[in-house]
Amino acid sequence: MSPDGPGASDFDELAREWDRSDMARVIAGMGSQVEFALGDPKFPDIVPDGVEEVLVVGMGGSALPVDILNDVLMEQLPRPIGVCRHYHLPPAETDRRLLIFSSFSGNTEEVIEPLTSVPVDAHGVAIITAGGRLASVGKQRGYPTVLIPAVREPDGFQPRCASGYIVTYIARLIGATGFADVPFDKFRALPHFLSGLELREEGRRLARALEGRIPIFYSDEGHSLSLARTAKIKYNENAKRPAFFNALPEANHNEMIGLSGANEQLAVVYLRDPESHPRVHQRFDIMRQVLTAPNRRFLEWEMPPGNRLERVFATLMLTDWISYFSALAQGVDPTPVALVEEFKRLLMES
């Protein structure tokens, strides 16, 4: 292995040894997820009923697609889609609320418990899951239920890897209920757009630059939850390493001060959207200038030209590849999350 870190051939060898659940295939297939979900013949029939508010109840990888949708549909949504990451439903803001209970496993207790407070014959309820108790409740109560086709994916397929499916399924639900005029033509064009990008090698390059460092992912405010936080989450779960995120310009008013005295081996990664306000880019450039230090590295990646949906999904794939190759460089399988599973087991026993 090169003293400068793994090269292309080294990473190929590491993938054969450590990518035991074929996450590379999953990342490359994000566009295929969107394509399948758009045409899924088992999607339930939905009658438009004048929905005025949408709330998704979910955790982790089953909830982060909401942040992605709020970003890519910011011009179409009459109000942002809400997320409940707790045991109790918040009060409805209107009497025409659509509740979407989203749990990949179907057994997430923070999703199951709020569902128990919903009347059995309630209207305005939908479920997205790959099975478990949630699928059973949906069948028993007759709620419209979307089944994530995990059988299409490799064994060990994880919720955080299902964003292509869940984003598209939620988009179909809110489009069918009349909540938003979803630009499905752009969704249909997305798989072809993604297949034409060379993101794997860019992810490999940035992973090498991050080796031995703690990354902080930055974006503009509009992408902070959808991209910067998702990048942080993927780095935590895939690379099994700490990572952080923030947004510009907010970080220039607080977090930047903390970095000025930091001694850790940090790497700031700026996910640059060419459509962001020019002053946001200038802020990153000046921050890099004033925070230059031997133990600090500044990296950036510019999103490819395209519409907002295309730019966001390209960045999601890019950061997936970064975390994937960072995992391989450390000799760990990017797919399993053994600590989370052990935590859940202990929680059930408590």
- CB distance 268 to 214 below 8 Å: no
The pTM of this model reads: 0.95
CA 287 – CA 228 distance, rounded (Å): 17
Give the domain ranges of the chain.
8-19+197-329, 23-192
CA 84 – CA 43 distance, rounded (Å): 24
pLDDT tens across the length of the chain (350 residues): 444 556 666 888 899 999 999 999 999 999 999 999 999 999 999 988 889 999 999 999 999 999 999 999 999 999 999 999 999 999 999 889 999 999 999 999 999 999 999 999 999 999 999 999 999 999 999 999 999 999 999 999 999 999 999 999 999 999 999 999 999 999 999 999 999 999 999 999 999 999 999 999 999 999 999 999 999 999 999 999 999 999 999 999 999 999 988 778 999 999 999 999 999 999 999 999 999 887 789 999 999 999 999 999 999 999 999 999 999 999 999 999 999 989 988 988 98
**Helix, strand, coil abundance in the chain, percent, nearest 5:** 50, 15, 35
Among candidate residues 218, 240, 250, the one with its CA nearest the CA of residue 337: 240
The CATH class that applies to domain 8-19+197-329 reads alpha beta
What CATH architecture applies to the domain 23-192? 3-Layer(aba) Sandwich (3.40)
The string of DSSP codes covering 310-333 is HHHHHHHHHHHHHHHHHHHHTT--
Is there a shared CATH topology between the 8-19+197-329 domain and the 23-192 domain?
yes
